[in-house]
Structure 1
Amino acid sequence: MSQALSYYLDHFGLRERPFALAPDPEFIYWSAEHRGAYAMLDYGLSTRAPITLLTGEIGAGKTTLLHHFISSLEDDVTIGLISNARPGVNDILRRVCAALSLEVGQGADIADLFSVIQTFLLDQHRQGKRVLLVIDEAQNLNRDALEDLRMLTNINAGREEVLQLLLVGQPELRAMVRRADLVQFAQRVAASYHLPRLDPVATAGYIAARLKTAGGKPGIFSRQAADLIHEATGGVPRLVNQLCDLALTYAYAEGAPMVKRDTVQRVLDDGVFFGAGMADGDGQSG
């Protein structure tokens, strides 16, 4: 940790950075929408939904929620995770094998890959385990990849399906699944939830909750500062994190005991917050 950051934490009585950008389940903020999303993930798993969709705006906190959900699962669930689906991916079955730690030959064709996966899934079922395949950034999958995944959900042991899919992605994933040529895929989606941006009240609650988790006082940011942060970020958690971190740095440099609206305004006026132009949906994935 740099000396400057150490002073920054000491100044506000913080144990760690409250607004780091890396997804951290410890810092999840349970807004009503996040609770709804988590409940839908749990519903999809417990009802053995063939396909569950979780979508949300860029930087809305999908990955953090996903990591929290995965960490809560019992040992009877075998998890395969494809954390960053590549645009236009056409080797999804090979990626599935890698995610499930299955060995396949370099020259294996689609039929070979399907057979290896099927054998694994049926073996897991015999052991009393469920298999959950999670794909993050799933909006990058093309039609063929989605069709290959749908075929995997057709594998069953008697009347019981042996694989569940959880696809996490940006809003265009929902639009893609609704295409006429993917109707069979859409019919297998038994649970879905769209995670929206935070509203002004939730943004203030999010800021306070992260400060408290980091060991600080939730009132370090004034309500007026939180309102301006919401206005500048559109309520996108990742952008809120960026702006809050900069505002804390400015307040520390000024020797201020808290972040007020004019502190946030100075950050914006200085042009150091590059997320200002991303609040309408441009920019980073997540």
Structure 2
Amino acid sequence: MYDQYYGFTGRPFQLTPDPSFYFESGTHRKAMSYLGYGLAQGEGFIVITGDVGAGKTTLVGHLMNTIDPNRLTAVKLVSTQVEGDDLLRLVAEQFGLEWEGQSKAELLRSMEEYLREQARAGRRTLLIVDEGQNLAISALEELRMLSNFQLGGHSLLQIFLLGQPEFRQTLFHTPTLEQLRQRVIATHHLDPMEPEEVEPYILHRLKKVGWTGNPSFAPEAYELIFDYSDGVPRRLNVLVSRLLLFGAVEELHRISVQHVRNVIAEIEADRGIDEASLAPLPVEDVVAHAAAAVEAPVEWPAASTDDRAPFAAPAKPDFAEARALVAGQAATAGTEEVFELAPETAVAAPVAPAAPAIDEVQVAELQRQIASLEDRLVEQDAALRRVLDLLIEWVERDPENAPNPATSKVWAA
């Protein structure tokens, strides 16, 4: 979308980590030094941590692009929320080894033989384990055991562990991991970028896709971008991507600080939805779910039968009772007009003044039911907004497979 408007050759701020956009901030330069030192040692564990979106995956991807594959075999493991035995099977699969039907002892023998063959061929083996904070203690112990494989006094396997900040707590404060800690030869925590690094970072990525100055950014815009993103690369990418989309829609050639404020306000409004109540949708289900959200009637949860439940589900409004009550009010007031209440038009029509004889309990119950219906409609509207937001993100990530606005039922709605 915005890449076409501004004549870019690609999307410079996509969320998917891309080593070709690697930017060497101060903290990334230090991390590369530690990684280089670790590779030179050829053994043990190197631990890199950082907040979500700090650039850990991009950092390691850049490192891999600088390594001669004829001298180093590097494999990467991402699915780490497993116990020890399953982790061994995942590692064996990454090595290209058959693991089905094999006992743990057989699997370990196969892996050791594979590592020895790599060493005899003059290649070292590096295992990169991402999302280390998800590793079970048993899985970390299995990794430690793998690091024990040696040939001629030299380690056969080196391991990089990448994780979020809580992984440091697990690694360095779990008593049973003392032996693993003794094998850690270098650690580094990726900090956010500094304020003065934000402008070079943005321009670096823009130049990678053929940017020649359109759009330009006001100096104050960079300051606000940093303030909102806290210097975290992924947060910064999200904001600048939305800024460029905003600029394309508004046909802007210069991004001012006010434009940044406008986009931040939009993002904050989107985040105002209670995301805890919304289940994440797979990308392939977004279009279908959006269509269903547009057409689906309101469905009420069943009423709780337990008066003691502190969060009992509201009962489905009894609209027949509501109609009868309103009709009774109209008759008592001396008018023949009867107002219909339906889910789509609840309390939209005026109601004749109630006579003093009307049961106040019934009126209060009716008001409660109507308020519950309105709350549910607000929830449905919020869910629809969230789905449409996911659609926008999908279009930005994969415009070739995005729905056709001319034929899509969702866009038409």
Q: Same-fold call, TM > 0.5? A: yes
Residues 1:130 and 2:124 aligned together: yes
Q: Which of the numbers 212, 215, 219 marks the counterpart of 2:210? A: 215
Residues 21-58 of structure 1: CA deviation (Å, up to 9, x unaligned): 11111111111211111121111111113111111111
Q: Which of the numbers 255, 258, 270 marks the counterpart of 2:254? A: 258
User: In 2 relative to 1, CA 32–276 (structure 1 residues): closer, same or farther, beyond 3 Å?
Assistant: farther
Residues in 2 aligned to 1:32 and 1:184: alpha-carbon distance in whole angstroms:
32
What is the match of residue 115 of structure 2?
Answer: 121
Offset at residue 273 of structure 1 (A): 7.3
Local SS of the residue matching 2:93: helix
Q: Which of the numbers 195, 198, 213 marks the counterpart of 1:203? A: 198
Residues in 1 aligned to 2:210 and 2:271: alpha-carbon distance in whole angstroms:
26
What is the match of residue 43 of structure 1?
Answer: 37
8 Å Cα contact 1:233/1:240 also seen in 2: yes
Q: Which of the numbers 42, 47, 50 marks the counterpart of 1:53? A: 47
- Which shifted more, 39-48 or 146-155? 39-48
Offset at residue 9 of structure 1 (A): 2.7
Q: Which of the numbers 166, 174, 180 marks the counterpart of 2:168? A: 174
Offset at residue 85 of structure 1 (A): 1.8
**Larger relative contact order, structure 1 or 2 (CA cutoff 8 Å, min sep 6):** 1
4+ runs deviating over 4 angstroms: 87-90, 272-277
Residues 1:231 and 2:233 aligned together: no
User: In 2 relative to 1, CA 273–236 (structure 1 residues): closer, same or farther, beyond 3 Å?
Assistant: farther
Offset at residue 163 of structure 1 (A): 0.6
8 Å Cα contact 1:197/1:234 also seen in 2: yes
8 Å Cα contact 1:19/1:241 also seen in 2: yes
Q: Which runs of 5+ in 2 are unaligned?
A: 274-413
Residues in 2 aligned to 1:227 and 1:257: alpha-carbon distance in whole angstroms:
19
Local SS of the residue matching 2:255: coil
TM-score after normalising by structure 2: 0.62
Q: Which of the numbers 90, 94, 102 marks the counterpart of 2:89? A: 94
Q: Which of the numbers 69, 75, 81 marks the counterpart of 2:76? A: 81
Residues in 1 aligned to 2:269 and 2:137: alpha-carbon distance in whole angstroms:
37
Residues in 2 aligned to 1:89 and 1:144: alpha-carbon distance in whole angstroms:
5
8 Å Cα contact 1:54/1:167 also seen in 2: yes
Residues in 2 aligned to 1:274 and 1:168: alpha-carbon distance in whole angstroms:
31
Local SS of the residue matching 1:81: strand
What is the match of residue 108 of structure 1?
Answer: 102
Q: CA RMSD in A?
A: 2.1
8 Å Cα contact 2:51/2:190 also seen in 1: yes
Offset at residue 11 of structure 1 (A): 4.0
Offset at residue 238 of structure 1 (A): 0.9
Residues in 2 aligned to 1:193 and 1:126: alpha-carbon distance in whole angstroms:
32
User: In 2 relative to 1, CA 34–148 (structure 1 residues): closer, same or farther, beyond 3 Å?
Assistant: same
8 Å Cα contact 1:80/1:132 also seen in 2: yes
Offset at residue 276 of structure 1 (A): 9.7
Residues in 2 aligned to 1:101 and 1:137: alpha-carbon distance in whole angstroms:
22
8 Å Cα contact 2:127/2:160 also seen in 1: yes
The percent identity for this pair of structures is 36
What is the match of residue 146 of structure 1?
Answer: 140
Q: Which of the numbers 182, 190, 202 marks the counterpart of 1:187? A: 182
Q: How many residues align?
A: 271
- Which shifted more, 10-19 or 21-30? 10-19
Compare CA radii of gyration and give the structure with the larger one: 2
What letter is aligned with 1:246? R
8 Å Cα contact 2:84/2:140 also seen in 1: no
Local SS of the residue matching 1:101: coil
TM-score after normalising by structure 1: 0.88
8 Å Cα contact 2:147/2:158 also seen in 1: yes
What letter is aligned with 1:221? F
